[in-house]
Structure 1
Amino acid sequence: MTMFPFDVAATGVGATAGPETGRTGTETRQAGNGGTAVVSALAAEGVEVVFGIPGTHNLELYRALADTPIRHITTRHEQGAGYAADGYARATGHPGVCFVTSGPAVNNIASAVGTAHADSIPLLVVAPGPPRGQEGADIGGLHEMRDQRGHMAGVAERSVRVDSAAQAATVIHETFARWRTARQRPVFLEVPLDVLDAAWDGQHPPRPSPPPGPAASSDDLARAAELLAAAGQPALLVGRGAIGAAREVRHLAELLAAPVVTTVTGKGVLDETHPLSVGASVRLGPAQELLTAADTVLVVGSTLSDAELWGWRPELPGTVIRIDIDAGSLTKNLVPALAVHADASAALHALAERLASDDHAAAVNPATLHAARSRAGQARDASAAVAARDAGPWAPLNQALSAALPATTIVAGDSSQVTYYGTAHHWTARAPMRLLYPTIYATLGYGLPAGIGAKLGRPEAPVVVLVGDGALMFSVAELATAVEQRIALPVIVVNNHGFGEIRDGMLAAGIAPVGVELVTPDFALLGRAFGAYGVRVTGIDDLVDATRRALDADRPTVIEVDADTVEWR
C-alpha cells in the first residue's frame, strides 16, 4: 500500500489573533485559546477547507477560524459533513477535516468515520467534549454522552481526548505526520470545553517529522524479482493502496507482460484502456479465472476483503507475493509465499529496477507480451459481458455517460445498484481517484455529499453524482449545501421507487417484499425547490445532453431518470 502524498503549505497564519477591544474601549480579550491552537495547527498543515456545522459547544473553533484563510463549508447534517470531507480526500489526495459539536453531532458523523476507516481515507474530526473532570459524570449536561471518546474509538483508527491546547495541536501534527508514511485512516479529536475556552500561550509545539515508513529489505526485493522474472504467466492484483503508485504499476506490468486486475477501490490505477488492463473486475468470474491460472500473482495494497471480492475466496494455486504498507494486511484473507512490508510506490520502483537489470531483462519478449495482452483482453471482454448481464439497465446508462463526458470526470456513487452494478464496471477510468464509492462500509447517503466535497476540492474537474432514489433520500438535504456553494454539479438520480437491491434479495429468498416499495418525490421539482435546476429525462440521449448542460451550469442540476419508463436502448 502506498499513501497518496498531500502537499504541506504552511499558510503563515499566526498563533494568535490581534487583541480585540471590548465595548468600553478598555477591555481586551485574550488573543489565543484552545480553539486558536487547533485552527492554527490545521493551518500550519496546509488545510484549506473544513466541513461542519457550528454548535453551542464548538464556537471557539469558529472564532479562530474567522482569522484564517481556511474555508468553512456548512453542510445540513454532520453525516453529510463527514461524507463531503471523505469525497474531498478521495478526489484530491489531501486529508478531509470536519468540525462538529458534541453529543448528537458526534453520533451523526460516526457513520462517515466508519466509512473512512473501512476504505482507508484520511479524515480528521474535531469535536468538543465535557470539561476536564466531568467525563462520564451523568449530570445531565447539554449534549452529554456516557463516553464520547470511547464511542468514536469503535469507528476511528484513533480516538484521542486531550488535556491542553498544546496537546491538541500536537495530536493534529502527529496525525498528519503519520498519514504521510502509514495507512491513512480517520482520527477523532475530542477537546474538552474548558480547554477550548482556556487561554493558550501561543507556543506552537514542534511539528514532528513523519515516522519512517516501512522499507522492503534487499532480500525480499531480490526474492520477489526472482519469482516474478521466472513466472510464465504473471498477473497483478492492485487495490486502493496502490493509487499513489499508478506509474510504477504500469511500468512493472509492462516489464513483466502481466495483466492487471484491480479492485473497485483501486479502479483506474492502471488506465482501463491500457491493453494489459482487465479493469476493476476482481469480483467477476473471468478475472478470477485469470488470476487462478497465473503462476505468480503480485497483490499490491489490498486486503482482498469480502466486500471487494463478493464472496470469492482467493485460494490461488500460483505463487503469491503481497506488498502493503500495513503489516497487518499482508496475510489477511490470503497468506502469501512472500510478504513485503513496504510502501507500494517505493517497492514497485525497486522491483522494476531489478527486473530491468541485466539479470532479468530477457524475461519478456514480443511473443510473451502479445500473449499477455491477449489474456488481458479476453478476460476484460468476458468480464464486461458478465457485468452487463448482471447490471441490466445500469450498464448502457453508465457506458453512454462514460463515453460522452470528459475522461477526467469524477463520479460520486453510493451503495446503489447503479453504482456497484453499473459505474464500477461500465465507466472507463483513465486514472485513479475518479470513482468515489463507499465500497466496504456500503453506506447509503454517501454520493451527494461526497460529490460536493470532490467538486469543492477539484473545482476544475467535471464531477457527477450518480445514485439511486433510496440513496439520495438519505442525504437529500445536502442539495441546499450544493446550491449555497453555487457549484456545477449534475445530480443524477435513477428512480426505481424503493430499495431495489433489498427488494430483489427478498424475492430471491422467497420473502414477500416488506418495507422496500417506497413513495418517492418528484426529484426534478424537489431540486428546483432547493434552488437548483431540475429536469426529468426519458432516454439515455436526453440524459447525456442534460448532464453536459449541467456541467456548465451556474448551480447544481437534479436529473431524474425513472427506471420503469426510461428508454434504455
Structure 2
Amino acid sequence: MNAPTGPSTRNGGDLVIETLTALGAKAVFGIPGQHALGLFDALSRSKLSFVSSRVENNSAFAADGYSRATGEVGVLFLSTGPGALTSLAGLQEAYATGVPMIVVASQIPLDGLGARRKGMLHQLDDQKASAANVTKSQRTVHHASGIPSAIQDAWADAITVPQGPVWIEVPQDVLLAPVFVPPVADALAEAYQHPPRIELIDEAVRWLGEASRPVIVAGGGVRRAGAQAALLAVAETLGAPVVCSPGGNGAFPWNHELSLQSWVEDRYVTEVLEDADVLIVVGSALGEVTSNYFTLEPRGRLIQIDAEPRVLESNRPALGIRADARAALEYLETALTATSGGTAADWHGQGPVRVVAQTLAKVAARLDAQDLAKERRFMADIRTAVPEDMQTFWDMTISAYWGWSCWDARSGEFHSAQGAGGLGFGFPAAIGGAVGLQVAGKSHADARVLAVSGDGSAMYSISELATARQHNTPVTWLIVDDGGYGILREYMVGTFGKATATELARPDFVALAQSFGVPSRLVDPEDVGAALAESFAGQGPNVVVVQTLLKMFAPTHL
C-alpha cells in the first residue's frame, strides 16, 4: 500500500501538534528552522497560538514565563544544532527553578544520527547530550508512530515533582513522514505522586511537639505546589515565624503577624533562624542567598521538605522528607492538629509575634542608617504603581535584588531569574506571561505584566521588542539604566576597591524602542511611579527608561 500524498497528507509534525493540543497546550514559543519545517507546517493547521521570538534563548525564557504566569506547561519548538544550543541558558533557569516545559527540538535525518557526515547542516555529535544538564530527561523519537507516546510520557515527566523542562528531539524525516493513523483526539498524562513517608511526618511532629521556637523558611517549591494555604495553616498552628526565600516571595502573607517577609539577606533575620530550636525548610535548598551566603549556622534541629531528592540535606544535615510541598504541609497540619493542636511557641517568653515585630523593626533601623532613601522610595513608587494582581518579571539587576527582600507580591506573582541567575530573563519571560494570560481569557488590560531590567540585562533581550510589537503583547518594560553591570560594579568596588570591565556603551533606549514602533519615555527616578501608571493604561508593549544609580543595602552593620 502506497502512502497518501499531496497537501492534505498528515505527517509526523501533525502528530506532534495533535498530541500537544490533546494534552492541553494552547501556545507555543520558538523559531522555525530547516529541519523543523514539517513541524511548523503542521502548526499552520492547528489552533495553537505561536509566538516567534528573535533568539532561541529568549524563546525558552518566554515559555518559562508562560508556565509561571498560568501554572500550565510551557511549550518550546527549536531547530537543530545552533538553535537548540542557543536555548540552553534559558532552559537552565527553568530547570533550576522547577518550571514544567516540553521542548521539541528537530534533528538531522535518521541516517545521519550517530554518524559524522561531513557538511551535514547543523549537526552535533550528540545534540541530546547538550541538553542533559538543563533538562529533566531527554528522548529521541525514531518513528512517527512513536511521537504521541513520547510526548505524553514527556508531559507526565514535566509535571511530576520536581517539575522541570523535558527534551524531545524528532529527526527531520520523521517530522515529514506521512502517517496513516487517525488524528490524535485524546491524550492523558498524569503526574506521579510523591506523598511523604508517614514515619518521617510522625518524627517531624514529635520534634515540633517539643519545640518552643519553631521557624519556617518557605521556598519556591511552596508557590509551585500551590501550598500557600497549607503553609499558613501550619505556621498558625505552630505559632512559627515565616520567612520567604526570593523564589518563595509571595508564599506567605506579607503583613501577617508571623511574617518575616523576605529579608533573608539581613543578619537580624538570619539570627532568628539560628535561634530556632526546630527550623522547617520547605521547598528550598537553603542555598546561597537563602542561607545569607552560607553564613547561617542553625543551632537547633532542621526539617527539610523538598520534592527534589538531590536537594535534601545538600547544605545541612536534616530530617529530609521527600515530598511535594503541599502534600507534606497538609499531612503535617493534620498530624499536628490530631496530636497537640500545635506547640507552645514562647520564644524566651516574648512570643513569636513580638519577635517578628522586633526583628522587622531592627531591619528597618539598619536600612535607615544606610542612606538608602532614594532606593527605598524608588521601590516603593514601583510597588504603589503596580496593580494588586499584576504579575512582575525581574532580571538579575539591583532592582531585583531589592525586590527579593522588599517586594510585597500581594495577589500578583513575583518572578525572577534567581534560579540559575542568568541575564536577559525579564522581558521575554514577561512576553510569555502576558501571552499566557491572554490565552487563558484575560482581557488585554488584565493581561498586562511588568518586566524590570538593568541596561546590561536589557541588551540580552532587546531584539524581543520586535516580538512584543508583532504580537501586540501587553508588557510594560522598565529599564533602569546605570551605564553598566551595576551589581557587578558594586561587588568589585566592595571587594577590590575598583571595578573592571563593568562599564558599558549603551544605546538610546527610548529611540531604540521607538524604532521598533514601541512607545517609550525617559523619566527621572522620582517620576517612575506616575510613568508606570500611565504606561499600564496603554495598548500593546511600552517602555519606561530611568537613568539612575542604585545601591544595595548592607545586610550587617557597616
Q: Is TM more than 0.5 here?
A: yes
Which one-letter code corresponds to 1:297 in the other structure?
L
Q: Of residues 449, 473, 477 in structure 2, which corresponds to 1:487?
A: 473
For 2:280 and 2:387, the matched residues in 1 are separated by 32
For 1:384 and 1:97, the matched residues in 2 are separated by 43
Asked if residue 161 in structure 1 is aligned to residue 140 in structure 2, the reply is yes
**1:124-167 deviation line (CA, Å, top 9, x unaligned):** 22111111131242321122222211111232222222212233
Secondary structure of residue in 2 paired with 1:398: helix
User: Hey, what does 2:91 align to over in structure 1?
Assistant: 113
1:488 CA drift (Å)? 2.9
1:412 CA drift (Å)? 0.9
Asked if residue 395 in structure 1 is aligned to residue 376 in structure 2, the reply is yes
**1:17-66 deviation line (CA, Å, top 9, x unaligned):** xx99xxxxxx6346321111111111011001101111222111112112
**1:274-325 deviation line (CA, Å, top 9, x unaligned):** 2211112223212211111111111111111225435224431111111122
User: Hey, what does 1:48 align to over in structure 2?
Assistant: 26
Asked if residue 143 in structure 1 is aligned to residue 122 in structure 2, the reply is yes
Number of aligned positions between the proteins: 537
User: Hey, what does 1:376 align to over in structure 2?
Assistant: 356
1:326 CA drift (Å)? 2.1
Pick closer, same or farther for the CA change 1:456–1:426 going to 2, 3 Å: same
Pick closer, same or farther for the CA change 1:54–1:211 going to 2, 3 Å: closer
CA contact (8 A) 2:455 2:483 kept: yes
More moved, 367-376 vs 77-86: 367-376
User: Hey, what does 2:190 align to over in structure 1?
Assistant: 210
Pick closer, same or farther for the CA change 1:206–1:46 going to 2, 3 Å: closer
**1:463-498 deviation line (CA, Å, top 9, x unaligned):** 111111001011101011111222332211111011
User: Hey, what does 1:3 align to over in structure 2?
Assistant: none
User: Hey, what does 1:299 align to over in structure 2?
Assistant: 281
For 2:95 and 2:257, the matched residues in 1 are separated by 33
For 2:292 and 2:345, the matched residues in 1 are separated by 36
1:499 CA drift (Å)? 1.2
What pairs up with 1:430-469 in 2 under 5 angstroms? 430-431=410-411, 434-459=413-438, 460-469=446-455
Secondary structure of residue in 1 paired with 2:474: coil
User: Hey, what does 2:529 align to over in structure 1?
Assistant: 544
For 1:88 and 1:429, the matched residues in 2 are separated by 18
More moved, 148-157 vs 109-118: 148-157
Secondary structure of residue in 2 paired with 1:268: coil
Which one-letter code corresponds to 2:546 in the other structure?
V
Pick closer, same or farther for the CA change 1:362–1:275 going to 2, 3 Å: closer
**1:437-463 deviation line (CA, Å, top 9, x unaligned):** 110311111111011111111242441
Q: Which runs of 5+ in 1 are unaligned?
A: 1-18, 21-26
For 2:94 and 2:342, the matched residues in 1 are separated by 43
User: Hey, what does 1:287 align to over in structure 2?
Assistant: 269
**1:210-263 deviation line (CA, Å, top 9, x unaligned):** 354122233222222222232101111111111120110011111111110111
Secondary structure of residue in 2 paired with 1:363: coil
Q: Of residues 458, 474, 487 in structure 2, which corresponds to 1:501?
A: 487
User: Hey, what does 2:111 align to over in structure 1?
Assistant: 133
CA contact (8 A) 1:252 1:348 kept: yes
User: Hey, what does 1:23 align to over in structure 2?
Assistant: none
Aligned CA RMSD, in angstroms, stands at 2.6
Secondary structure of residue in 2 paired with 1:436: strand
Identity of aligned residues (%): 30
Q: Of residues 186, 191, 200 in structure 1, which corresponds to 2:179?
A: 200
Asked if residue 79 in structure 1 is aligned to residue 57 in structure 2, the reply is yes
CA contact (8 A) 1:38 1:165 kept: no
For 2:393 and 2:189, the matched residues in 1 are separated by 34
More moved, 229-238 vs 301-310: 301-310
For 1:143 and 1:261, the matched residues in 2 are separated by 48
CA contact (8 A) 2:216 2:280 kept: yes
For 2:473 and 2:185, the matched residues in 1 are separated by 38
Pick closer, same or farther for the CA change 1:114–1:284 going to 2, 3 Å: same
User: Hey, what does 2:164 align to over in structure 1?
Assistant: 185
For 1:392 and 1:195, the matched residues in 2 are separated by 61
For 1:34 and 1:550, the matched residues in 2 are separated by 44
Which one-letter code corresponds to 1:230 in the other structure?
E
Asked if residue 332 in structure 1 is aligned to residue 314 in structure 2, the reply is yes
CA contact (8 A) 2:18 2:185 kept: no
User: Hey, what does 2:441 align to over in structure 1?
Assistant: none
Pick closer, same or farther for the CA change 1:565–1:250 going to 2, 3 Å: closer
